[in-house]
Structure 1
């Protein structure tokens, strides 16, 4: 009997503890964190930009599913903090977050009463900021649904739901876990004056400065493309200006292609300037070997010195390359024909001395 009483007491204690912890869990569950707006900016390597992104958040009426009842629209003024990206590049400073506030607060303290509220969130068109290229804004809309309840310490958010698109009801299947806007930024060398120039130099005492050397340049498109354009279209937009080079041949990139090849010939101090190249494009350069000449390549790739001839980045900074061909001077060996008369005179003189010596010896005998 005592054992049963002890078991009952233990069970009651466990139930009491469970009830207490259950109450704490329920109270904690009533406070939900306000979501943030997430920003991601995609740029090609070689590009940098500073820009500020702004947002609009507007109350909206949604059906609650209970007769004609709608969500409330009399909540406090909702705002989203601007997101500023300074010197954003392809691998740094290219993402951020903006806080959503209600009456300037990130909790439910500014609401007048409990209920279900909803807002539509959009990103405003982006000003160019410090950049000279073009932004591609994210046109995606989101619907934010918040449930405000009467908590132990006043009004609290019990939950948030995020819907992709403009919802019409609190019951949705197109739910997501965050509000995220993805923008793109592109620019060309035509806009920033960072065209690519390739130059030929002939060196060596016996170098033929009039000789034409054959070049092949292959461009590869980057991943972030201007709005509505394909990789082939961006490559086919590249132009070439002859700085004394000859026989420039363009092979247009076909639909679906991601590379384009251009050939030309250049003598000493001649070359080609390539313009309207999408920043982030890479290029590889080859020169046909010529007997008697040793090749040497140096380049500045987006302002950085390089000796590579493959996958060189074209960026906002200086882009150029110089192919130097040094002639290996030839030193002739053997007799020089122009000196033959003098050699023959020397031989005659030597022969005369020898004949004179022989004759003198005969007389002495």
Structure 2
């Protein structure tokens, strides 16, 4: 009996151990099927539909409003996913098609079977306000699931190329300086030229009822990297893996960890927004000298420092454009992959519409060189002059200080990315800088008419500040955005008139007459006393 009990116990224990091992193995298999293996950037199906999405990031500078596309629609971007090869089909045209959208770009060309990601706008969620993330110059949006699992009816490997369509509904602004319109400015859109391959692995179901997409991963061509191993493709894993390549492939359980890989960049010129009453420069610092006895030929000392773009992708694109033979950014000089200097000009305000150094040669160039992380320079201005940066991309920032104002009381008005709108009464030959200065002088503000133009600050996010001096110095008191709208720092120095001396000089004839009268009276009084 004891022997039987012993055998029963051993048998039960063995069965329990076996069951435990099988259960653990099954659990291990189940866990493996539902996990995303980050070591090989492969996404495994948990048993339902595989969910793979593409993400797109659009970089632009702080304070820039994204343009509308063709037919006033929000910007969209699209991806082409084309069949390459399969272990199932000899003819790649027999492979399942990925991409169900049809788009028409700004040139009128139609593209079928693409994956479209739309809704790129400054107000991305359509709530009537600029989104917080757009203030930082980044919008990231995601596509719908790019595969239909039901199309994959045979087990095997399916390989597709994935690349961004090198066009969209973006409309480049074509107006240039000299056109009969106020809205001339430069802008550009760059597209990501990364080309990937999507590998989709399809397995037979264990119950024999068909197939399912079991896993997917991406590879990247060596031609887009510095890897010169000679291999056509390298798996996105091991020593050749890109740290962010898994961004293109998204599983439901990893949506919060996905990092975008396709990035586009929008660059826009500062200070020249459509309909703006601007000075045709990206940034202007003006000087006005006031006072009956003020010396208007006196030069005043200024120091300026400029911070380059903080969005690295936008900065890289600007450097690339400025490196070209037809550099569109006349204020920027590039050597290699760095901005080495910025160039501005001291110009008479009356010549604002003439390109300094080209149409107007009576100017003084000011070169800003890199020092402690800023492009800095000292310069001088006298009455009726201004420092102008002809062409900078929006997103730079500046700080300027005036010193050595002894005998004068300095003040300033700061326009930080202000949309100064002009009405139909604007006479094209009038000087917009002088109009702005006259409005400041009148003290009427910028919400009412200041003949002949009506100026009003835009309602959202723009700034107009009146700045008083501190110990004879006036400055922006910190970095100020050079945005897409009007960027101006208007400095006025008022001479402290010699009122005491002036009073004497102006009334000297009357003072002499009174003095003579007093003397005559005193002399007459003295004579009478002598006679008495």
Same fold by TM-score, threshold 0.5 exceeded? yes
Cα distance in 1, alignment partners of residues 412 and 504 from structure 2:
38
Q: Is 1:41 aligned to 2:76, yes or no?
A: no
Change (3 A) 1:228 1:93: closer
Q: Is the 8 A contact 2:81 2:162 kept in 1?
A: yes
What's the CA shift for 1:155? 2.3
Which of the numbers 125, 137, 146 marks the counterpart of 1:101? 146
Matches within 5 A, 1:319-358: 319-332=487-500, 338=509, 339-357=511-529
Which of the numbers 95, 98, 103 marks the counterpart of 1:78? 98
Cα distance in 2, alignment partners of residues 201 and 219 from structure 1:
23
> Which residue number in structure 1 is paired with residue 167 of structure 2?
126
1:202-258 Cα shifts (integer Å, max 9, x gaps)? 34455455544444444443242322536633754656653158762322658x996
Cα distance in 1, alignment partners of residues 499 and 189 from structure 2:
62
> Which residue number in structure 2 is paired with residue 59 of structure 1?
83
Change (3 A) 1:131 1:145: same
Secondary structure of residue in 1 paired with 2:517: helix
More displaced 10-residue stretch of structure 1: 177-186 or 189-198: 189-198
Unaligned ranges ≥5, structure 2: 36-43, 68-74, 100-113, 125-133, 174-186, 223-231, 249-260, 274-279, 324-331, 352-361, 419-462, 468-475
Q: Is the 8 A contact 1:39 1:83 kept in 2?
A: yes
Which of the numbers 131, 146, 150 marks the counterpart of 2:200? 146
1:61-99 Cα shifts (integer Å, max 9, x gaps)? 37x8xxxx9999443101253122112745266211223
Matches within 5 A, 1:158-307: 158-165=214-221, 168=233, 173=238, 174-175=240-241, 176-179=245-248, 180-189=261-270, 192=273, 195-204=282-291, 206-209=293-296, 211-223=298-310, 224-225=314-315, 226=318, 227-229=320-322, 232-233=333-334, 236=342, 241-244=347-350, 248-251=364-367, 253=369, 259=375, 261=377, 263-267=379-383, 269-303=384-418, 304-306=463-465, 307=467
Secondary structure of residue in 2 paired with 1:82: strand
What's the CA shift for 1:273? 4.1
Q: Is the 8 A contact 2:344 2:367 kept in 1?
A: no
What is the root-mean-square deviation in Å for CA atoms of aligned residues? 3.9
Cα distance in 2, alignment partners of residues 100 and 277 from structure 1:
40
Q: Is the 8 A contact 1:194 1:315 kept in 2?
A: no
Change (3 A) 1:14 1:218: closer
More displaced 10-residue stretch of structure 1: 226-235 or 305-314: 226-235
Secondary structure of residue in 2 paired with 1:342: helix
Cα distance in 2, alignment partners of residues 19 and 273 from structure 1:
73
Change (3 A) 1:347 1:252: closer
Q: Is the 8 A contact 1:232 1:257 kept in 2?
A: no
Secondary structure of residue in 2 paired with 1:290: coil
Q: Is the 8 A contact 1:54 1:123 kept in 2?
A: yes
Secondary structure of residue in 2 paired with 1:316: coil
Q: Is 1:31 aligned to 2:45, yes or no?
A: yes
Cα distance in 2, alignment partners of residues 310 and 149 from structure 1:
62
> Which has more strand, going by share of residues?
1
What's the CA shift for 1:302? 1.0
Cα distance in 1, alignment partners of residues 281 and 55 from structure 2:
32
What's the CA shift for 1:169? 7.2
Secondary structure of residue in 2 paired with 1:177: helix
What's the CA shift for 1:124? 1.5
Change (3 A) 1:11 1:326: same
Q: Is the 8 A contact 1:81 1:100 kept in 2?
A: no
Q: Is the 8 A contact 2:272 2:282 kept in 1?
A: no
Secondary structure of residue in 2 paired with 1:353: helix
Cα distance in 2, alignment partners of residues 298 and 319 from structure 1:
11
Unaligned ranges ≥5, structure 1: 361-365
Larger Rg: 1
> Which has more helix, going by share of residues?
2
The count of residues paired between Structure 1 and Structure 2 equals 350
Cα distance in 2, alignment partners of residues 237 and 82 from structure 1:
41
More displaced 10-residue stretch of structure 1: 289-298 or 93-102: 93-102
Cα distance in 2, alignment partners of residues 140 and 27 from structure 1:
30
Change (3 A) 1:171 1:331: closer
